[in-house]
Amino acid sequence: MEFNEIKEAILIGVLLSFMIGPVFFVLLQTSILKGARAAISFNIGVVLSDIVFISIVYLGSRKILEQIKDDSRLFFIGGLILMSYGIFTYLKKVDKSLAPKTTKISSKNNYLGLFFKGFLLNFINVGVLAFWLGTFVIMGPQLDMNPTKIYYFFALILVSYFTIDIGKIVLAKKLRSKMTPTTIVKLQRIMGIFLVVFGVVLVMRGLI
């Protein structure tokens, strides 16, 4: 992989980790209420569901993208997907009841249950599938649809994502005090704007 590809993969992983949604809040909540091990179990389930989504996108889109990988309209399509997801993220009403609360850490944890909870909570979010689809439509052709390059690129995204989440788990107690309703809304809107701007750039690239 080239340096630019590595940089893009890490950037996408960081962005994904700070997407505001149920997984973001439940991860912090689990870390605060049940401890780091429980939160890591939950997060492994989330990452596994992402792997399933990526596999679905790869297997479902590979043949089509291989045939039209040099078509500039791919940037247009990928850009529209990310713009739509960005607008949805910006306008989506935040469930403030999910914000981390203060309480004692539980000494009894069902780690397998937390694993499946993370998997299902992420898997039922269609927006996550749209995110991976947009990413693959854009990056697949840039990686020449090379299976090895695609594998390492998306693996690096997930490693970056998981690493940042470990940091969030460790800092959960400090982050809890920062997660006010106003901050939550601001973060969500910033992420939405970022995705829309990135999508617009890709659409313009496809048109030009």
Taking every pair of C-alpha atoms in the chain, what is the biggest distance, in angstroms? 58
Predicted pLDDT at 157: 94
Predicted pLDDT at 152: 93
What is the pLDDT of the chain when averaged over all its residues? 79
Non-local (6+) Cβ contacts of 115 within 8 A are 41, 42, 44, 45, 48
Q: Whole-structure pTM over 0.85, yes or no?
A: no
Instruction: Read off the pLDDT of residues 2-15 as tens digits, 9 standing for 90 and up.
Output: 788 898 899 888 88
Sorting pLDDT into bands at 50, 70 and 90, what band is 155?
very high
Sorting pLDDT into bands at 50, 70 and 90, what band is 56?
confident
Q: Are 100 and 25 in contact (CB under 8 A)?
A: yes
- H or E stretch including 74? helix 73-91
Sorting pLDDT into bands at 50, 70 and 90, what band is 108?
low
* Residue 180 clears pLDDT 70, i.e. is over it: no
Residues 109, 33: Cα–Cα separation, whole Å: 10
Domain ranges in the chain are 3-94+111-207
Instruction: Read off the pLDDT of residues 129-151 as tens digits, 9 standing for 90 and up.
Output: 878 888 888 888 888 888 899 99
- Tokens representing 182 are 């106003």
CA dihedral 27, 194, 64, 129 (to 10 degrees): 20
Of residues 131, 135, 168, the one with CA closest to residue 154: 135
Predicted pLDDT at 72: 64
Give the best-scoring range by mean pLDDT among 21-30, 43-52, 64-73, 119-128.
43-52
Sorting pLDDT into bands at 50, 70 and 90, what band is 164?
very high
Instruction: Read off the pLDDT of residues 78-98 as tens digits, 9 standing for 90 and up.
Output: 678 778 877 877 787 765 555
Q: Region of 35 please: left (phi>0), alpha (psi -120 to 50) or beta.
A: left
Predicted pLDDT at 110: 83
Predicted pLDDT at 50: 93
Rounded to an integer, the average pLDDT of 30-51 is 89
Residues 13, 24: Cα–Cα separation, whole Å: 14
CA distances from 107 to 12, 101, 114, 166, 199 (A): 35, 17, 14, 20, 45
Non-local (6+) Cβ contacts of 186 within 8 A are none
